[in-house]
Structure 1
Amino acid sequence: MKKFLKLVVIVPLLLVGCKDKGSNEVEVIESEDDSIENETLVIEMDVGYEALAESIDYYLTDQNFNGAALVSTGDKIIFTKGYGLANLEQEIPVETNTKFQIASVSKSFVAVSVLQLMEDGLIELDQTIDKYFPTMPNANRITIHHLLTHTSGLYSSNDYGYGGRYSTENTVDDLLEDAYRENNLYFEEPGVSAIYSNLGYDVLGAIIEQVSGMTYEEYVRVNIFKPTGMKDTLLNVDGLVFENFAVAYNGNIEEGYRARIFHPSYGYASGGVHSTVEDLYRYDRALANNELISEESYELMTQQYTRVGNKPYGYGWYTNLWIEDTISHPGNLVGWHSMMLRHNEDKVTVILLTNHDESDMNMAYTIARLVLANVE
C-alpha cells in the first residue's frame, strides 16, 4: 500500500510531461428509449479497485475537474463519478448520467458507420466521392479514405469558429454553401498532407445518408446507439433540450458565463453527438467485443495512416498517442470538452466529459498510465 500511495503523490507531476449568467425556461424532454437493447450492462464500480479509485479521485479533485469521469479495465469499472455543477444557476450537480456535447469524439461514430457499410459491400474505402458530390472541386480525386484520415485537402478556415449559421439548423449543403459564399473553403492536393477537417467528416455523414437511405441521425441511432444500449446518446439535430443535460460555460465553472449556444446540427456528424460517460462505456464494450464492426475492421480503424498536427491518426481516432497500443480522441467546442481513450488490448479505458473551458483533457493519459501501472 505504501508503494501505491507513493505513486499517487507523483500523479500530478506526470501531466507536465505529457502536455505536448441567466436561463430561459424550456420544455425538457425525456430521452429514454424503451426499445434500446442491451440494458443489462450495469454501470457500477468494481469493489476490487478501491485504492486505485481513491487515487483517481484524488487526482481529479486536485486538478479541479468539473464534469463526469469513468475509468475501466476490461469489463470492470474501476471508477466513475460526477464532479461539480452541471448547471451553475440552478446548482444542479454533475452525475454519471449527465449529458454533454462530446464534440469531435463524435468522429469515431462516423468511422464505425463507414466501416459497417464497407462490411455490407455498400462502400469502398478507395472509391472517389464524385458519385455523391459531383460538383465539388477535386471530388473525382478525393476518396473515402482521404476523408477519414483528414487527407482530402478539404478544409475550411472557419471550421466551427464563430461564423456561419451556428445557432440554427444546418445541413451539409448549408455548411458547404456558407463555405463557398464566404470564400473560406480551400482545397489542397488530396492525399498529400493531413489537415484536420470537420467539414470532411460532415461530408462523410452526408455520404452515409446517401448510401444507407437514412438520415445520419437515424443511421447511428439504429446501427450504433440502439444495439449497444446507449439510451442517453443522440445526435440532437432538432436542437431540443433533454433532461440531465449540462450547461456549457466559458472559463471557470464558478466565475464563467454561459457559452455561445451552437445548434447541434452545426456539429452534425463531425461533432454533434450528446452522450454520457456511462453510454460511452457501453460503446467501448461494443468495440471491445466486435459487436459493431469486425476485428479486421477494428484493425483498419486503429492503425496509423498519417499524422494530423504531428499526431498519428487512423480512422476517427488518434493512434498510439503518448501511450502505445491505444486509440484516443478529444472533443473541443466552446464550453464543451471531452476525451475518450481506450487500450486496444482492453487494459484501460478513460472517459472524461466537462462543461467548462478550464479542464485539461490530457488528464486522461495520466490516469491511463496510472491504471496500466497497477493492473495486470
Structure 2
Amino acid sequence: MTPTPIAEPALATSRRGLLRGSAGALLMSGLAASAAAAAAAPAQDIDAIIERAMKQAPFPAVVVAARKGETDVYRKAFGYIDLENKVAATTDDVFPIGSVTKTMTGLSVMQLVAQGRIGLDDTAATYLDGLPPAIGALKVRNLLDHTSGLVGYTDVPGFPWASQRPFTRQEVVGWFADKPLQFEPGTRWSYTNSGLYLLGLIIEKVSGASYEDYLAEHVFKPFRMTNSSMAGWERLIPRRAHGYLVKAGALENAPRYDPLVPFSAGGVLSTLDDMMKYRRGVFGDGPTTPQVRQLIQQQDKLKDGLVLPYALGCLAITTFEGHRKIGHPGDIFGFSSQYSYYPDDDLTIVMFSNMQNGAMPLISLEQKVARALLGVPQPTIVDLPLSKSLGESLAGSYEIGEIRFAVNEMTFTFKDGALYVAFEHGPPIALRHQGGNEFVSSLDDEHRFRFDTHGRPARVFMSYYGSTFEATRAEAR
C-alpha cells in the first residue's frame, strides 16, 4: 500500500523563514516516514492474515478496501476471479453482494416510511393482495427485522438450487407463503429471506417502479454508485467475478441464477468503490436525511423486552472488541461479502470473495482485518488437553434461544479426548480447547463457544457471524 503523503508547508523567503522551512521540512519528513512505517505495519499484518485465509478456506479471490474517513488505509486484491482462465482479481471487480442487498431494501423502505407512503405497523396485506391470512397479517417492521416467523424460502425442501431457469415473483412467494409460521411474530428473531422478498414487492407496489428501477433511481444514482445493478447473467459486465463452491474437498463452478430468486433479499452486484460510496451516502454527507438515518438504526424489542441486535434498516448493530459496529454479511451462489462500518472510528471495511461455503465465512476474516486496523491484538489460539470429566459434562444437545441463525439446535459430543459440535444434520466439527470452558472451531477460530455450567440447565454462548447466540441444554425440557 502507498501511504498518503503529508504535504510540506511552503518555505518562507527570509533567512529565518528558510531556516524554519528547513527545520520544518526535516520534521515533516520524519513525520512522513513515521506515518509510512505505521501504515506499513498493519498493511503487512493484513497481507499475512488474508494469505493464510486464502489457503485455509480456500478462497479463490478476496478483494478488500478499508477507508478511515475519506482516506484509503488498505486496498488490495488477492487470487483469481476466474480460475479456469487465470484472470487475476483487482479492486475494481464486480461481485454479487448477496444479503448486503438487504440493507438497501431496508433503506428503500425507510425512505418511503419517511415520505408517509409506508407505515411500519401496517400489515403486508395493506399493500399485497392474495396472501394467506397469517402472512398478510405480518407487520412491515416484522418483515424488516426478522421477527415475522416466516420460513426462509431458500430453506424449503426442494428449493431449486441448481436451476438456471427464470422464475416469477409469484413462484418464489409460493415457496413459503403456504407454510405455517415458525413462531408468534415478535417473540423471536430468526433470519429469513422471505420477509425481505415481500418488502421488495411492497416497494414495487407503493413506488410504481420495479425494485431494480427503484434502487437505480433512489440509491445508486444519488449515491453515484455507477457500477452497481441487479443484472442477471445475460448482460455483459466487464470484470464480473466467477463464483465457486467447495464440493468433496475441491472447488467447482457455482450455479448461475435468475436475479428474481434473490431479488430484494440478495440480488445486487457491486464493487468496493461503490460500497464505499454507499456507506458515505447513508452515514456521511450523502443525500440520506437524518430522519431516514435514524429510522434505519432503530432497534425494536421482542415481546419479553430483549433489544434486537438487528435494526429496522436491516443492519446488524453490535460491538466488536469494544468498538461499535454496523454492517451486514452476504452469501449467495458461490459468492460472499462483508460490509462493516465502525462509526466511532470512522472506519469502513468492505470485502468480497467468489466462494460461498468454505471453511470460514468472510466476516471471520473481516474481524481479523478490523483488529489490525483498530490496533487490537489478535487472540492467541492454543490447543490445551481436555479432560474426560469436563468433556463429558459439556456433551449434550443445546436448543438455541430467542435469537437464531439458520439452525435451532447444536449437539456436542466428547470423543478421543476432544469435544465436537454438530449443527442439526451437519457433520461434527472438532473444537480446540482454550482453557476452562472455552473453545474455538478447528475450522474457524473466530467461531467461539463458552459454556456456563454454574446454573441448571447448562448454557453455551456461541460467537458466530459477528453475533452471540445463547443455547440451553435440552435436559431442561
The TM tier, using the shorter chain, reads 0.7 to 0.9
| In structure 2, distance between residues paired with 1:311 and 1:119 | 22
CA contact (8 A) 1:233 1:273 kept: yes
* SS of aligned partner of 1:232: coil
Q: Name the counterpart of 1:16.
A: none
**CA offsets per residue over residues 315-368 of structure 1, 9 Å max, x none?**
311111535421121111231111111012352111110002335311112222
CA contact (8 A) 2:233 2:256 kept: no
Are residue 248 (structure 1) and residue 247 (structure 2) matched?
no
- The structure 2 residue matched to 1:156, chosen from 152, 176, 195, is 152
CA contact (8 A) 1:202 1:268 kept: yes
**More displaced stretch, 138-147 vs 297-306:** 297-306
Please list, as runs of the form range in 1=range in 2, the aligned pairs for 1:211-230 lying within 5 A after superposition.
Answer: 211-230=206-225
Q: Name the counterpart of 2:175.
A: 178
Give the structure with the larger strand fraction: 2
Q: Name the counterpart of 1:296.
A: 291
| In structure 1, distance between residues paired with 2:125 and 2:288 | 26
Q: Cα distance 1:135–1:225, how it changes in 2: closer, same or farther (>3 A)?
A: same
**CA offsets per residue over residues 274-295 of structure 1, 9 Å max, x none?**
1111211111121222524223
TM-score (norm 1): 0.78
Q: Name the counterpart of 2:361.
A: 360
Q: Name the counterpart of 1:312.
A: 309
Unaligned runs of 5+ in 1: 1-45
Please list, as runs of the form range in 1=range in 2, the aligned pairs for 1:1-376 lying within 5 A after superposition.
Answer: 49-64=39-54, 66-136=61-131, 137-139=133-135, 141-156=137-152, 158-159=154-155, 163-164=159-160, 166-179=163-176, 184=179, 186=181, 188-237=183-232, 239-251=234-246, 255-305=250-300, 312-314=309-311, 315-323=313-321, 324-345=323-344, 347-356=346-355, 357-358=357-358, 360-361=361-362, 362-373=364-375
**More displaced stretch, 113-122 vs 82-91:** 113-122
CA contact (8 A) 1:102 1:275 kept: yes
| In structure 1, distance between residues paired with 2:172 and 2:276 | 31
**CA offsets per residue over residues 51-101 of structure 1, 9 Å max, x none?**
332322222122225221111111111111111000011111111111111
Tell me how far 1:161 sits from its aligned partner.
7.7
| In structure 1, distance between residues paired with 2:137 and 2:196 | 17
CA contact (8 A) 2:331 2:337 kept: yes
* SS of aligned partner of 1:107: helix
Tell me how far 1:302 sits from its aligned partner.
2.4
| In structure 1, distance between residues paired with 2:107 and 2:319 | 20
Higher gyration radius (CA): 2
Tell me how far 1:105 sits from its aligned partner.
0.8
CA contact (8 A) 1:155 1:187 kept: yes
| In structure 2, distance between residues paired with 1:161 and 1:259 | 20
* SS of aligned partner of 1:71: strand
**More displaced stretch, 257-266 vs 322-331:** 322-331
Tell me how far 1:311 sits from its aligned partner.
7.6
Tell me how far 1:237 sits from its aligned partner.
4.7
| In structure 1, distance between residues paired with 2:233 and 2:84 | 25
Q: Give the RMSD, CA atoms, in angstroms.
A: 2.7
Tell me how far 1:241 sits from its aligned partner.
3.9
* SS of aligned partner of 1:284: helix
Q: Cα distance 1:49–1:185, how it changes in 2: closer, same or farther (>3 A)?
A: farther
| In structure 1, distance between residues paired with 2:201 and 2:135 | 14
Tell me how far 1:238 sits from its aligned partner.
6.8
More relative contact order, 1 or 2 (CA 8 Å, 6+ apart): 1
| In structure 1, distance between residues paired with 2:126 and 2:308 | 31
CA contact (8 A) 1:234 1:275 kept: yes
* 2:67 aligned partner, one-letter code: S
Q: Cα distance 1:264–1:336, how it changes in 2: closer, same or farther (>3 A)?
A: same
Q: Cα distance 1:179–1:117, how it changes in 2: closer, same or farther (>3 A)?
A: same
* 1:371 aligned partner, one-letter code: L
**CA offsets per residue over residues 7-60 of structure 1, 9 Å max, x none?**
xxxxxxxxxxxxxxxxxxxxxxxxxxxxxxxxxxxxxxx978333323222221
| In structure 2, distance between residues paired with 1:63 and 1:197 | 28
**CA offsets per residue over residues 127-161 of structure 1, 9 Å max, x none?**
22212224323245311111110112222364488
| In structure 2, distance between residues paired with 1:160 and 1:90 | 35
CA contact (8 A) 1:231 1:279 kept: yes
| In structure 2, distance between residues paired with 1:239 and 1:128 | 36
TM-score (norm 2): 0.63
| In structure 1, distance between residues paired with 2:273 and 2:201 | 28
